[in-house]
Amino acid sequence: MLQGYRIVEIEGLGPGPFAAMMLADLGAEVIVIHRPGGGNPVAGEVNLLDRGKRSITLDLKDPADLQTARALISTADALIEGFRPGVMERLGLGPDDLHPENPRLVYGRMTGWGQTGPKAQTAGHDLNYIATSGALWYASAPDDTPQTPATLVGDIGGGAMYLVAGILAGLLSATRTGKGTVVDAAIVDGSAHMMALLMSMAPSDNLHEARGTSLLDGPHWSRVYRCSCGGHISVQCLEPKFYAAFLDLMGLADSPDFSDQNDPAQWPRQTAQLSAIFATHPVSHWATIFEGSDACVAPVLSPWQAAQEAHNAAREIWTMADTGPQPAPAPRFDGQRATPGPAPERGADSEALRKELRARGLLT
């Protein structure tokens, strides 16, 4: 879908490289400017987030390499950077430096706190941003410590995905107007924006500030339960017909204890009873009972287990690489199946890219 678009990524951590990987998965030519020396300190020897990209090694503090970076960016449709505000400007690579040379450039900026505001120059990580934005508030059962899957809500959901959306919107606008833009993608902004669906329930009696009392974070039918094997099973049968199917398969269809689905006063007792029932058998037992039903029950799988699960395997959602499970590109498009290339060695395309820039008269 993005064939013919060139994206330049300045090497960073987390959401910026993920956004660039997603654009590469969608068919864009993504060139990552790797710094000399070692790689990402938190990634493996081969960084999954570099899959399908080309790599050039440049020291942006070296004048010759900086000139190469500017020449390369002048050929790009979009740029991705994830430094604190002002760093790119000090390097001479800010929007005001680059737009005169490339007016159509979509300049994607990925930060936690955004380009402006009292915390813009302050360090932070995924959990801090979503704690501040409000997105962490409902992320636990009542009386438990709020906790979310690492990086998914902030770095990826509120960060990378909003950067991708911003870049795509910017590319559409540049095609129409011939003028680029600057995308200020802040994790604190995006993760707050993600709360809109949940907050849409606020005018009714389905959302309350107190955790454990709202429609999705309080009921016994919206929970994860521990099984006898130590594994867990997820239950979220929101609609009455799905709740009825759940009770039927649990053997509780005629139990007066569960006849009232939506009475908050009964949720703690109902949750305790279901906890005791689920604890009597392993996950495999419950998975067999609920397989193929509309009860909205599913085992909690690790990525390694998910790669082997029948539905995931049929859709080829995961592939097994030397480094472990690797997720397939998403979303899908009719008649196409993306197969991203491997992650390149750092600097693997340096000479080829310099040769191209010289051939275009952009380097001497």
Q: Quick count: other Cβ atoms within 10 Å of Cβ 174?
A: 18
Quick count: other Cβ atoms within 10 Å of Cβ 155?
26
Per-residue model confidence (pLDDT) at position 43: 65
Give the pLDDT mean for 127-140.
Answer: 91
The whole-number pLDDT of residue 42 equals 65
With bands split at pLDDT 50, 70 and 90, how would you rate the model's confidence at 38?
confident
Q: What is the pLDDT of residues 145-195, one digit of tens each?
A: 888 888 999 999 999 999 999 999 999 999 999 999 999 999 999 999 999
Residue 314 maps to a domain = no
d(CA 357, CA 181): 24
Average pLDDT of the segment spanning 284-293: 96
112: in domain: yes
Answer yes or no: do 73 and 165 share one domain: yes
What does the pLDDT average to over 334-358?
Answer: 91
Q: Could you tell me what percent of the chain has a pLDDT over 70?
A: 98
Which of 161, 215, 222 lies closest to 193, judged by CA?
A: 161
Looking at the fold, whether 112 and 229 belong to one and the same domain comes out as no
Does 155 participate in catalysis according to the annotation?
A: yes
Q: Is residue 106 part of a domain?
A: yes
Do residues 257 and 125 share a domain? no
Count: domains in the chain: 2
Domain enclosing residue 295, as ranges: 222-300
Same domain, yes or no: 179 and 73: yes
Residue 98 and residue 14 in one domain: yes
CA dihedral over 257, 261, 265, 271, signed as positive or negative: positive
Looking at the fold, whether 132 and 253 belong to one and the same domain comes out as no
**Is residue 307 in a domain?**
no
Question: Is 290 among the domain residues?
Answer: yes
- Whether 59 and 168 share a structural domain: yes
Count of H-run helices and E-run strands, the chain? 14, 11
- 59, 99, 125, 281: the catalytic one is 125
Whether residue 305 is contained in a domain is answered as no
My answer on whether 227 and 189 are in the same domain is no
Give me the CATH number covering residue 231: 3.30.1540.10
- What CATH number is associated with residue 104? 3.40.50.10540
pLDDT of residue 40: 67
Mean pLDDT of all residues in 58-70:
97
Query: What mean pLDDT do residues 326-351 have?
Result: 90
Token readout for 108 is 């994607």
- Supply the mean pLDDT for the chain: 94
Question: Considering 279, 300, 321, which residue would you say is the last residue of a domain?
Answer: 300
Contacts of 195 (CB under 8 A, 6+ apart): 133, 134, 135
pLDDT tens digits for range 205-226: 899 998 888 999 899 999 999 9
Give domain status of residue 316, yes or no: no
Q: Which is the catalytic residue, given 50, 77, 155, 184?
A: 155
**pLDDT class of 304 with cuts at 50, 70, 90:** very high
Residues facing 6 on adjacent strands: 29
Residue 39 has pLDDT above 90, yes or no: no
